[in-house]
């Protein structure tokens, strides 16, 4: 005879299925085969198969990523085409302008030598001025352990500052000779 629960063969002398433990007394073997088929088709528990859920979720995720990538590509291509149109218009304008300009290739009869231009280093822009509150060492690095004292700034002196260093603990100041120095924030007042 066949087990009504799992469909395994059960010897006639046994009262329980050896595979699933289903009680098998007084079961007709022909009825069991038919009832097993009916049971397995009709009496399934409601719910979703985990593999179906996982494959559906994965497919939706892949479609979402693919759609996002396509969207970004379309946006970038659209921007690229707009930029190319602008660049082409600019280039066409330049070409048009260059064809309208006449160039004088003749050299002057006399050549006048001019003074050479002196190129000097440009000064960095400052953020403001600060005033020294009490005498303080000006250092070459924003640190007391690994730096050298390059000057002692006196109380009431003012300096231009270029910014902050070491997470805002030190002011970068501009000295009279154009070099940079570092002053600890506790010794200054900003204007």
pLDDT for 14: 81
23 phi and psi, to 5 degrees? -70, 130
pLDDT for 91: 46
Each domain of the chain, given as residue ranges in start order, spans: 1-45, 128-190
pLDDT for 29: 47
pLDDT for 90: 44
Reduced to 3 states (helix: H, G, I; strand: E, B; else coil), residue 20 is: coil
pLDDT (tens, 9 = 90+) of the chain, 191 residues, equals 788 888 888 888 888 888 888 787 644 444 444 445 555 555 555 566 788 888 889 999 999 999 999 988 888 777 655 544 444 444 444 444 445 566 666 666 665 566 665 545 555 677 889 999 999 999 999 999 999 999 999 999 999 999 898 888 999 999 999 899 999 999 999 87
Residue of 181, 130, 172, 191 lying closest to 152 (CA atoms): 181
**Distance between CA atoms of residues 184 and 181, nearest Å:** 10
pLDDT for 117: 54
pLDDT for 94: 46
Fold entry, domain 128-190:
SH3 type barrels. (2.30.30)
What is the b/e burial string over 21-46, where b = at least 16 CB atoms within 10 angstroms of the residue's CB? eeebeebeeeebeeebeeeeeeeeee
């Amino acid at each position: 005879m066949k087990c009504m629960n799992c469909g395994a063969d059960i010897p006639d002398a046994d009262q329980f299925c050896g595979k699933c433990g289903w009680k098998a007394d007084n079961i007709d073997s022909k009825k069991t085969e038919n009832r097993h088929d009916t049971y397995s088709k009709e009496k399934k528990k409601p719910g979703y198969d985990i593999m179906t859920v996982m494959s559906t979720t994965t497919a939706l995720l892949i479609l979402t990523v693919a759609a996002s990538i396509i969207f970004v590509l379309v946006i970038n291509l659209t921007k690229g085409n707009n930029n190319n149109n602008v660049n082409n218009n600019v280039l066409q304008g330049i070409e048009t302008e260059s064809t309208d300009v006449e160039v004088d290739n003749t050299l002057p009869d006399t050549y006048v030598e001019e003074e050479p231009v002196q190129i000097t280093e440009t000064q960095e822009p400052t953020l403001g001025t600060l005033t020294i509150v009490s005498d303080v060492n000006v250092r070459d690095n924003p640190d007391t352990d690994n730096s050298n004292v390059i000057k002692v700034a006196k109380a009431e002196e003012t300096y231009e500052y270029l910014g902050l260093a070491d997470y805002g603990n030190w002011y970068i100041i501009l000295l009279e000779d154009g070099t940079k120095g570092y002053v600890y924030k506790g010794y200054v007042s900003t204007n």
